[in-house]
Structure 1
Amino acid sequence: MKRNLMRQMTGAVIAVMVAGTLLVGCDAKQAGEVEMKFINVEKVALDSGLVKQEQAYLKAVNENLHKGLQLAEKNYATLPADKVAAARQADKKIIAQQWQGQQRAARQVVLAAVKQATDAYRTEKKIAAIMPMQTAVSVAPELDVTADLTTKLNATKLDFGKVPEITVKAADTAKPAVAAK
């Protein structure tokens, strides 16, 4: 009885495995079809104009940050002489942190646009994966989809958000004068 049960179980397992193998084979790609493509992310971002948009945004941010420092300089005239250096250093630190944060955020907007376009292209073309060219040692030219994605992103207008506004608070020896909004 136990042997019959074992034979039936073994037969059932084998039948399931054979059926699974056959079903997997139905959806398999033909020999020679490629499921992976490659992209040069930096080239796409540069050639599509996304980097130019990022640079324009960061230029506006930088200008506003420098205006903020200039406004803060006017506040230093009302501070005691021994507090000016500390206030200047605190303001410069805030401006530097704001600048670094804006640079990171802008780069994330660019990369998100590239990723979104890449995901859409991968889905549309039924590609299993699109990898960065930099991870490959050697790639056949027909696997490079950089030009296709550059074309796809040419008309993309990025939204980096609002350029931060710099305000200057009244002179206070305990706190920095500069604040970003």
Structure 2
Amino acid sequence: MKRNLIRHVAGTVMIALVAGALLVGCDAKPAGDAEMKFINVEKVLVESGLVQQEQAHLKAVNENLHKGMQLAENSYANFPAEKVEAARQADKNVIAQQWEVQQNAARIVVMKALKTASDTYRSEKKIAVIMPMQAAVSVAPELDVTADLTQKLKTAKVDFGKVPEIILKTAENPAGKTGSK
């Protein structure tokens, strides 16, 4: 699933970069001046540690969502028997939606870190465009900047924000909110 998500995001990035490359091509310099470089997006994300940071964050999210589901399960003892299954299904749907939102948000943060590093590298090296390897049929080795961007991102610490907490509504806490958490 994570691999499919990486491929999906890489495909989206590829389409945007191809469109940008087509626009940049109108302003091309004489032949021989390499203005385009390539990266293996998946390799950069894995080897730089960004995917590991994403996985660690998502593990914490998943643990909190599981705790939330357990809280909900415990609260069913107070429900009439005929309403337990409907409440359980509603809670499962909320947890599944929150999981999907958190996965997408984490991937966006990771891709933003890659884009920021790529933009900085591109500006420093005076490169017109950096394309994903998947957009090319063949690439000369000197046009591959995967190793450079991987090295640049190895020290990057990504901020995914707070891990969501599931709080049940109670008579004392009707909105289901926590104090300062």
- Name the TM-score class by shorter chain: 0.7 to 0.9
- Secondary structure in structure 2 of the residue aligned to 1:157: coil
> Which residue matches 1:158?
158
**Deviation of residue 31 (structure 1)?**
4.3
> Which residue matches 2:142?
142
> Structure 1: which 5+ residue stretches go unaligned?
1-26, 172-176
> Which residue matches 1:67?
67
Alignment of 1:28-177 (within 5 A): 29=29, 31-170=31-170
Deviation track 1:106-143 (CA, whole Å, cap 9, x = no partner) reads: 00000000000000000000001111111111111111
The CA distance in 1 between the partners of 2:151 and 2:30, in whole Å, is 29
Deviation track 1:28-84 (CA, whole Å, cap 9, x = no partner) reads: 856422110001111101000000000000000000000000001111001000000
The CA distance in 1 between the partners of 2:63 and 2:176, in whole Å, is 14
The CA distance in 1 between the partners of 2:154 and 2:51, in whole Å, is 11
**Deviation of residue 179 (structure 1)?**
8.2
Code of the residue aligned with 1:54 in structure 2: it is: E
**Deviation of residue 168 (structure 1)?**
1.1
Code of the residue aligned with 2:45 in structure 1: it is: A
TM-score, reference length from structure 1: 0.78
CA RMSD of aligned residues (A): 2.2
> Which residue matches 1:10?
none
Code of the residue aligned with 1:168 in structure 2: it is: L
- Secondary structure in structure 1 of the residue aligned to 2:38: strand
> Which residue matches 1:6?
none
List, as ranges, runs of 4+ consecutive aligned residues in structure 1 with deviation greater than 4 Å.
27-31, 177-181
Structure 1 or 2, whichever has the larger Rg, is: 1
TM-score, reference length from structure 2: 0.78
Code of the residue aligned with 1:105 in structure 2: it is: A
Contact 1:166 1:179 in 2 (8 A): no
> Structure 2: which 5+ residue stretches go unaligned?
1-26
The size of the alignment, in residue pairs, is 150
Code of the residue aligned with 1:95 in structure 2: it is: I
**Deviation of residue 169 (structure 1)?**
1.5
Identical positions, percent: 73
